[in-house]
Amino acid sequence: MTQITALNLPPAKDIPEATQKYLDLCQEKLGLVPNVVQAYTFDIAKLNAFTAMYNDLMLAPSGLSKLEREMVAVVVSSINRCWYCQVAHGAAVRSLSGNPALGEAMVMNWRAADLDARQTAMLTFAEKVTKTSSEVVESDRQALRDAGFTDRDIFDIAALVGFYSMSNRVASAIGMQPNPEYHAQAR
Amino acid sequence: MTQITALNLPPAKDIPEATQKYLDLCQEKLGLVPNVVQAYTFDIAKLNAFTAMYNDLMLAPSGLSKLEREMVAVVVSSINRCWYCQVAHGAAVRSLSGNPALGEAMVMNWRAADLDARQTAMLTFAEKVTKTSSEVVESDRQALRDAGFTDRDIFDIAALVGFYSMSNRVASAIGMQPNPEYHAQAR
Amino acid sequence: MTQITALNLPPAKDIPEATQKYLDLCQEKLGLVPNVVQAYTFDIAKLNAFTAMYNDLMLAPSGLSKLEREMVAVVVSSINRCWYCQVAHGAAVRSLSGNPALGEAMVMNWRAADLDARQTAMLTFAEKVTKTSSEVVESDRQALRDAGFTDRDIFDIAALVGFYSMSNRVASAIGMQPNPEYHAQAR
Amino acid sequence: MTQITALNLPPAKDIPEATQKYLDLCQEKLGLVPNVVQAYTFDIAKLNAFTAMYNDLMLAPSGLSKLEREMVAVVVSSINRCWYCQVAHGAAVRSLSGNPALGEAMVMNWRAADLDARQTAMLTFAEKVTKTSSEVVESDRQALRDAGFTDRDIFDIAALVGFYSMSNRVASAIGMQPNPEYHAQAR
Amino acid sequence: MTQITALNLPPAKDIPEATQKYLDLCQEKLGLVPNVVQAYTFDIAKLNAFTAMYNDLMLAPSGLSKLEREMVAVVVSSINRCWYCQVAHGAAVRSLSGNPALGEAMVMNWRAADLDARQTAMLTFAEKVTKTSSEVVESDRQALRDAGFTDRDIFDIAALVGFYSMSNRVASAIGMQPNPEYHAQAR
Amino acid sequence: MTQITALNLPPAKDIPEATQKYLDLCQEKLGLVPNVVQAYTFDIAKLNAFTAMYNDLMLAPSGLSKLEREMVAVVVSSINRCWYCQVAHGAAVRSLSGNPALGEAMVMNWRAADLDARQTAMLTFAEKVTKTSSEVVESDRQALRDAGFTDRDIFDIAALVGFYSMSNRVASAIGMQPNPEYHAQAR
């Protein structure tokens, strides 16, 4: 079996019941336990902090659709060239959109995709926050408002870009491998 | 009063008791509630996810000292030129080290600081993960092991770089202002 | 029907017999006429120059296997984020290698692939020539010789990087769309 | 005698008659056989593919004047800092324009030249395609149309940028030396 | 005592009377002799050339206030991450403005400061000249005129950016250490 | 007559006798008054500060030959793509070396020139100080010492890089035009 990461950090000996339930739920719903989840099982407090933030950002109510959140995830991960995150979230874009080419475009070059004005504004902001966050000024936020986003939506885009800027770096820094099942999904 | 961020996101109406306790504890221990905490009070689930991850990374047991963790925080924030994080964590480095010049060097140019081999290895890795995470290879991790870090320590450095890569982007994207009290601390 | 490029350049009125034969051969062998070929049919001299160079580089005898040539094609196209070339040549890597994950890794981050020393040397040189060709010095060529490449092989790698540096720019500059059939191939 | 390239690739043993005629024509018309041509004589198929594309781009009918094509050649080669191409095509700009300072400006900083609106639009597009082709969008092409270029002209500019992005990389990767005669020409 | 620079260049043996007077004046007025001045005492001609230019730029009449000149100094030094210059001129901004947070913002991210239109125009130009001077065009100068600057003021901004682009590089290249007294000043 | 710069800054009304003598000397020795000198005549104090520093760096005794100083000048100016400085100092390299190709190589790509180990070390350091001065560390200085440079020589290289980093930016920021006579010199 391929190692999940380049670090020797075996799972915690006593997996709490709630954690085991979460792992079982992943297996049941997704057909696999994402390697990023497995990678954190060496320390349950870290796993819980990671999954709590992930679930809030990707699954809780938001003005952004689940597809839009995954599009941001892939665009950030593409800029950072994160192997794990492009594979896993590219699959999610293909699956949620029913449009395999859209998933590929988010990975390869988001400007090549056929996007509406709202999505273009969202990804333009996401790209700037990913690459040159220190140069964000009020007119960048206003461009989002002009495209129909609320201040809460702006927060959510910023938080998504932030989250994947984090997980891209953790995954690349520790050599995280994606579950091979993702590659063939929703092609 | 200056606005804490550029977004119009007022605090939640019903602050849960546990949250209020946390805010009171901040005030008592730090003499202020950090603006980053206040910025998240519009949504208690998001606040809890953020503080859980922050507390685990910065306060839980680790092979990295609290000062080392703050040094990583400032170096990442300096590369990203995050106003909020350089101010707040620069103060923490000054305070924890009792060496104001060290805090300034982390902000201005970490290579100018007088560091030992362990700290140099840690910040060299942190800089690479911040700037070009997709180019991290096994020899980068091995350099940390050679400097005395365990695989768990490597995870912690990666997670710290990730966390501040996230919070730098959120703070800059939403125009977060630091509490003015930080500027004069531990000079 | 989607337009093949963003330019209004209809095919030449009189397609020469040899050209028509080439187009028919594409259709027969690949099940499609690649859009890059169709994009050049507005001027048969340009089409011939392009296909002559392409066929020499990708199909003529060389110390590089066809898979290795396609790997170089995708890595260059990934650095340049060319939509057309990543799609078309990513499919070729998947197909020639029988390893869908390898095609994905060439697109997403070649350092994440499990490569041998020869392939690593080849792609390290290809990346440098793509990004900073003016900094290539003798030691870069020597590293290829040390990995077992001949001077003729070095020429071929350089020529491949050059060719895709060209076609990436032409494709992106004129908004070339890939044939949709590529997306599902060899998954 | 200085070597033409850093690779040990002697000319093919049997130079075909047509090739020899081409070499003789170069000598007669230019007073030299350009080293780039000599560098390809180790393989006649590669030489033919290169010269066919070169001759089509630089000499065939186009909405761009020969001087304009050479200006694009030098600007691309300057961005890529290609020793061979700046020397050879810088001489061509000096010679075709009768304006030595124009050739120097294309090498040193095209923005310093005294250009009309058409040339400025052409070089602005050429620079973007050279540096960040993946960010080209419809408004970049429209700016060329607004400056009087046809869609065919846009193709030709893209193809020129592509060609020199290729030959710059081949020349630098194999250490190609320019013929010394170019330096003093048209000063 | 810490060395002032990484080079072994002891002060000239015979310090001329005028030089000694200048050093005494520094000590009297500033409470210290800036290390940059001491670093040049190995060669009095070089010291005189440096201080003559410095005094003209920073102290002679100009349309820019002394605070504005120091703001440019710190912004340039921040982009170049010069340890010496950020420390020394950051202190000057804090002291001249009576606003410690302004000095910090110039070091950390000038866009985070609360600036008027004139200062924003000045620092926008200063940043461009620091980072990409070869791309400065007439519209950049016109933007300064539109913000109320004269042509002489434009010269002065250019000269300030130039001067700190120089002294940042000299200081970093020779490992110059700032006087420790600066850190606590005007906090 | 072409304007010397893009700023409207006419020469001072009363040119002091010493200044006039200097201008006359330029005309006599060089056959022209360099435009950079003319550009500063609007303010005699600024002119004197500039020429004092220039003369010290370029003409005073140093371990670096005059040709080596001009080589550094051109390499820095090439990286910064300064029109004025590449033209004027490129001519100086051609003239001092009697090798026109060397002047061209300094402008176009210094790595293409046939340099000895000492010159390669000097230009490697000059390039690093020009591009990423904040990353200079002791091993960079030691590499110069290993190539035979003294600490005083290192200072001189740093000061030369600094000076041209300054004058490149001033020249580009104010649109300085080189004297046309330079183009044909020493070809």
Q: What DSSP string runs through F136-183?
A: --HHHHHHHHHTT--HHHHHHHHHHHHHHHHHHHHHHHTTPPPPGGGG
Residues B88 and B176 in one domain: yes
pLDDT for res B33: 97
Indicate yes or no: CB of C109 within 8 angstroms of CB of B137.
no
CA dihedral (F151, F157, F160, F165) positive or negative = negative
**Contact call for residues A155 and B7 (beta carbons, < 8 A):** yes
Q: Is the same domain home to B50 and B114? A: no
Q: Which whole number is the average pLDDT over E136-151?
A: 98
Q: What is the mean pLDDT of chain D?
A: 97
B108 assigned to some structural domain:
yes
Sign for the CA dihedral angle at A147, A152, A156, A158 comes to positive
Residues of chain D neighbouring A79 (CB-CB closer than 8 A): none
| pLDDT at residue C173 greater than cutoff 50 | yes
Q: What is the rounded CA–CA span in Å between residue F97 and residue F74?
A: 13
Element containing residue D34 per DSSP (H, E): none
Question: Are residues E50 and E97 both part of a single domain?
Answer: no
CB pairs under 8 A between B and C: 4
Burial (CB count within 10 angstroms: exposed 0-12, middle 13-18, buried 19+), residue A81: buried
Cα torsion angle, E16, E18, E22, E24, sign: positive
Q: Is the pLDDT of residue F1 over 60?
A: no
**pLDDT of res. E3:** 87
Q: How far apart are CA E18 and CA E146, in angstroms?
A: 43
How high is the pLDDT of residue F3?
A: 87
**Alpha-carbon distances, residue D187 vs B117, D14, D69, E84 (angstroms):** 56, 38, 20, 46
Q: What is the pLDDT, as a whole number, of residue A3?
A: 87
With an 8 Å CB cutoff and a minimum of 3 pairs, decide whether chains B and E touch: yes
Residues C54 and C73 in one domain: no
Is the pLDDT confidence value at A80 over 70? yes
Q: Which residues of B touch F137 (CB under 8 A)?
A: 111
DSSP secondary structure, E167-184, as one string:
HHHHHHHTTPPPPGGGGG
Cα-based torsion angle of the residue sequence D154, D159, D160, D164 in order, rounded to the nearest 10 degrees: 150
pLDDT of residue E1: 46
- Rounded CA-CA distance D153/D72 in Å is 13
Percent of chain D with pLDDT over 90: 98
In the structure, what pLDDT confidence band is assigned to residue D145 with cuts at 50, 70 and 90? very high
pLDDT range class, residue C3, cuts 50, 70, 90: confident
CB atoms within 10 A of CB D146: 11
Tell me which residues of chain C have a C-beta less than 8 Å from any C-beta of chain B. 109, 111
Instruction: Quote the pLDDT of residue D70.
Output: 98
Torsion, Cα of D96, D102, D107, D113 (10° steps): -140
**Would you place residue D2 in the very low, low, confident or very high pLDDT band (cuts 50, 70, 90)?**
low
Query: Residue B152 region, left (φ>0) first, then alpha (ψ -120 to 50), else beta?
Result: alpha
Structural tokens at position B28: 């008592």
- Does B166 reside within a domain? yes
* pLDDT tens digits, B17-41: 999 999 999 999 999 999 999 999 9
Residues of D in contact with F107 (CB under 8 A): 107-108
Half-sphere exposure (CA, 13 Å, Cβ side) for F36? Answer: 23
Is D105's pLDDT higher than 60? Answer: yes
Chains F and A touch (3+ CB pairs under 8 A): no
Q: CA of D137: which chain A residue's CA is closest?
A: A111
> Tens digits of per-residue pLDDT, B113-147?
999 999 999 999 999 999 999 999 999 999 999 99
**D86 chain-F contacts, CB cut-off 8 A:** 104, 108-109
Examine the domain organization and report whether C141 and C172 are in the same domain.
Answer: yes
The CATH number of residue B117's host domain is 1.20.1290.10
Q: Is residue D12 part of a domain?
A: no
- How confident is the model over C22-38, as a mean pLDDT? 97
Give the domain-ending residue among C8, C27, C59.
C59
Give the pLDDT band of residue B1 (cuts 50, 70, 90): very low
Residues of A with CB under 8 A from a CB of C: 78, 81-83, 86-87, 100-101, 104-105, 107-109, 112, 172, 177, 180, 183-184, 187
Tell me the per-residue pLDDT of D22-58, one tens digit each, with 9 for 90 and over: 999 999 999 999 999 999 999 999 999 999 999 999 9
The string of pLDDT tens digits covering residues E93-130 is: 999 999 999 999 999 999 999 999 999 999 999 999 99
Residue B156 one-letter amino acid: D
Report pLDDT for C130.
98
State whether B84 and B160 are in the same domain: yes
From C78, C100, C105, residue closest to A184, measured CB to CB: C100
Are residues B53 and A56, on separate chains, in Cβ contact within 8 Å?
Answer: no
- Separation between Cα atoms, residue E66 and residue E55, nearest integer Å: 12
Pair E24, E72 in one domain:
no
The pLDDT tens digits of the residues spanning E38-69 come to: 999 999 999 999 999 999 999 999 999 999 99
Q: How far is CA B83 from CA B24, B38, B144, B185, in A?
A: 25, 16, 29, 16
Global pTM reads 0.98
Chains within contact range of chain A (3+ C-beta pairs < 8 Å) = B, C, D, E
pLDDT digits over B2-15, tens only? 689 999 999 999 99
Q: Which pLDDT value is given to residue C1? A: 45
In a domain, A110, yes or no: yes
Enumerate the residues of chain F whose CB falls inside 8 A of the CB of residue B109.
Answer: 134
**Chain B positions touching chain F (beta carbons under 8 Å):** 109, 111
Tell whether E122 is covered by a domain: yes
CATH number at residue F52: 1.20.5.810
Q: How many domains does chain C have?
A: 2
Query: How far does D76 lie from chain A, in Å, by closest CA?
Result: 23
pLDDT digits (tens, 9 = 90+) for F4-30: 999 999 999 999 999 999 999 999 999
Q: What are the chain D neighbours of E134 within 8 Å (beta carbons)?
A: 109, 111
Q: Which chain C residue lies closest to A111 (C-alpha atoms)? A: C83
CA-closest candidate to residue E59, choices E156, E166, E172, E150:
E156
Query: Is residue C4 in some structural domain?
Result: no
Q: What's the rounded mean pLDDT across residues C87-96?
A: 98
DSSP string, D78-131: HHTT-HHHHHHHHHHHHHHHT-HHHHHHHHH-GGGS---HHHHHHHHHHHHHHH
**The predicted structure's pLDDT at residue A1:** 46
Helix (H) or strand (E) holding D18: helix D17-30
Residues F80-111 have pLDDT tens digits of 999 999 999 999 999 999 999 999 999 999 99
Answer yes or no: do B43 and B134 share one domain: no
Residue A8 resides in a domain: no
Distance from the E91 Cα atom to the nearest Cα atom in chain A, whole angstroms: 23
A contacts of B52 (beta carbons < 8 Å): 48-49, 52-53
Last residue of a domain, one of C44, C59, C74: C59
Whether A12 is covered by a domain: the verdict is no
Q: Do C7 and D48 make contact, defined as CB atoms within 8 angstroms? A: no
Residues B132 and B172 in one domain: yes
The rounded distance, in Å, linking the Cα atoms of F155 and E7 is 8
Cβ atoms < 10 Å from Cβ of C180 = 13
Mean predicted confidence (pLDDT) in F142-168: 98
Q: What domain range is F46 assigned to?
A: 17-59
In the structure, what pLDDT confidence band is assigned to residue A2 with cuts at 50, 70 and 90? Answer: low
Neighbours of chain B (3+ CB pairs under 8 A): A, C, E, F
Residues F149 and A159: their CA atoms lie apart, in Å, by 52
Per DSSP, B81 falls in state: T
Both structure tokens of D80: 């890529």
Separation between Cα atoms, residue C90 and residue A107, nearest integer Å: 12
| F91 & F113 share domain | yes
Reported as a single tens digit per residue, the pLDDT across D111-135 is: 999 999 999 999 999 999 999 999 9
Among A59, A88, A110, residue at a domain's last position = A59
In angstroms, rounded to a whole number, what is the distance separating the alpha carbons of residues F73 and F86? Answer: 8
Q: Please tell me whether residues F112 and F148 are part of one structural domain.
A: yes
- Asked whether residue C39 falls in the same domain as residue C73, the answer is no
Is residue E2's pLDDT more than 90?
no
